A and B are shown apart, each in its own frame.
Chain A
């Protein structure tokens, strides 16, 4: 465990552009030290019928069959969402949309407690000893969930197609 903790000691660098992340990548991240840090663009289905406003995943047709998740299987919480932030056509329940904002960790048990970032986790871990680190991580994973602090929203069509193109762009970028 010690070596595992040490390996991830380098603090992440803030992503200063809206990098496309899949909802699956955010919602299913098991280790919050690996969570995307910074600006993010996500494409999904807007859901506002329940008390919490969230963004559901969309079926990506071009993915291999074993990695596909049908639309609405998982979702990620939206923070600070307001209809003023929607550009162009109004956004309603079950509309496909692209959101841009920032990834944060949100405390589900105490909604008023401060929202955390991936960097905060790294910085706190660097100040603790191993036993404390393990305890801290367990606490964080139990109470906090990844969420998106929304800055811009826009209703779109052809979401699955757009995700495919943007993923290819991302791959192009990481190959360099």
Chain B
């Protein structure tokens, strides 16, 4: 019973508030919130950038994990680069020097060793299974599993990256001791003779720059 009464009181209070005291305040507060969220800049994700612009980016003072370059706010970006050399790796990151013809910088890729080992053991298991005598169906299945796991291994194992390769990267700038590097979350190797991927990426980048630079001006 007590609870019911309390509820009624609360209801009444709420209703009164709507008419008298708090409503204008609330609406003001709401408006303030709305304004704040609407006025802020668009925060982009996965925008194509040249390494020159990544090296010029700086962290946003108001928002964590947001970076600014050329008045564009972004959380993550994509880049296409050539691997020009190796740096000293540490326990958690593989490090390389990347270069895209506009600038060069250090690339760090998280060495996902636990996952890598897991996939390798699964791959070994699948290959062993495909060798063991079983039905044709089983062999087919384990064969395709091992092929699948081999593909997965390639996109996880960053230690396979070597100077001379071309990479498509997704990641974000990484500031350390005043130097801007690139921290990649995922990568894709592009080592065929065909340059279709590089051309397509460059087209995408040029389009993005043209459209967004025009907007700024």
Q: Across the interface, do A17 and B196 meet the contact criterion of CB distance under 8 Å?
A: no
Chain A interface (Cβ < 8 Å from any Cβ of B): 16-20, 39, 41, 87-89, 100, 152, 154-158, 161-162, 165-166, 168-170, 172-173, 176
Given the interface pairs A165-B206, A173-B52, the reply to whether A18 lies near B193 with Cβ below 8 Å is: no
Q: Across the interface, do A158 and B194 meet the contact criterion of CB distance under 8 Å?
A: yes
Which residues of the other chain, B, contact A20 by a CB distance below 8 angstroms? Answer: 101
A18 and B51 alpha carbons, distance in the complex (Å): 12
| Interface hub of B101, B165, B205 (most chain A Cβ within 10 A) | B101
Which residues of the other chain, A, contact B165 by a CB distance below 8 angstroms? Answer: 87
Q: Across the interface, do A165 and B194 meet the contact criterion of CB distance under 8 Å?
A: no
Q: 12 other contacts beyond A156-B193, A168-B202, with CB at 8 A cut-off?
A: A17-B99, A17-B100, A18-B84, A18-B101, A41-B82, A41-B101, A157-B193, A157-B195, A169-B102, A169-B206, A172-B206, A172-B209
For B166, the closest partner residue in chain A by CB is A154
For A162, the closest partner residue in chain B by CB is B195
Which residues of the other chain, A, contact B195 by a CB distance below 8 angstroms? Answer: 156-158, 161-162
A168 and B207 alpha carbons, distance in the complex (Å): 11
Q: Across the interface, do A166 and B193 meet the contact criterion of CB distance under 8 Å?
A: no
Q: Across the interface, do A88 and B84 meet the contact criterion of CB distance under 8 Å?
A: no
For B201, the closest partner residue in chain A by CB is A165
How many A-B Cβ pairs are below 8 Å?
73
Nearest Cβ distance between residue B103 and chain A, in whole angstroms? Answer: 5
Q: Across the interface, do B193 and A89 meet the contact criterion of CB distance under 8 Å?
A: yes
Q: Does B191 touch A at the CB level, under 8 Å?
A: yes
Q: Across the interface, do A158 and B199 meet the contact criterion of CB distance under 8 Å?
A: yes
Which residues of the other chain, B, contact A168 by a CB distance below 8 angstroms? Answer: 202, 206
Question: B45-68: contact bitstring with A at CB < 8 Å (1 yes, 0 no)?
Answer: 000001110000000000000000
**What are 28 A-B pairs at a CB distance below 8 A?**
A16-B104, A17-B51, A17-B101, A18-B104, A19-B101, A20-B101, A41-B101, A88-B164, A88-B191, A88-B192, A100-B82, A152-B82, A155-B193, A156-B193, A157-B195, A158-B194, A158-B195, A158-B196, A162-B195, A165-B198, A165-B202, A165-B203, A165-B206, A166-B202, A169-B102, A169-B205, A173-B52, A173-B102
Q: Across the interface, do B99 and A152 meet the contact criterion of CB distance under 8 Å?
A: no
Nearest Cβ distance between residue B162 and chain A, in whole angstroms? Answer: 8
A56 and B196 alpha carbons, distance in the complex (Å): 22
Q: Across the interface, do A170 and B191 meet the contact criterion of CB distance under 8 Å?
A: no
For A159, the closest partner residue in chain B by CB is B195
Given the interface pairs A18-B84, A156-B193, the reply to whether A169 lies near B101 with Cβ below 8 Å is: yes
Which residues of the other chain, A, contact B103 by a CB distance below 8 angstroms? Answer: 17
Which residues of the other chain, B, contact A17 by a CB distance below 8 angstroms? Answer: 51, 99-104
Nearest Cβ distance between residue B196 and chain A, in whole angstroms? Answer: 7
For A97, the closest partner residue in chain B by CB is B193
A87 and B84 alpha carbons, distance in the complex (Å): 12
Nearest Cβ distance between residue A120 and chain B, in whole angstroms? Answer: 23
Which residues of the other chain, A, contact B99 by a CB distance below 8 angstroms? Answer: 17-18, 39
A106 and B205 alpha carbons, distance in the complex (Å): 37
| Interface hub of A41, A155, A176 (most chain B Cβ within 10 A) | A176
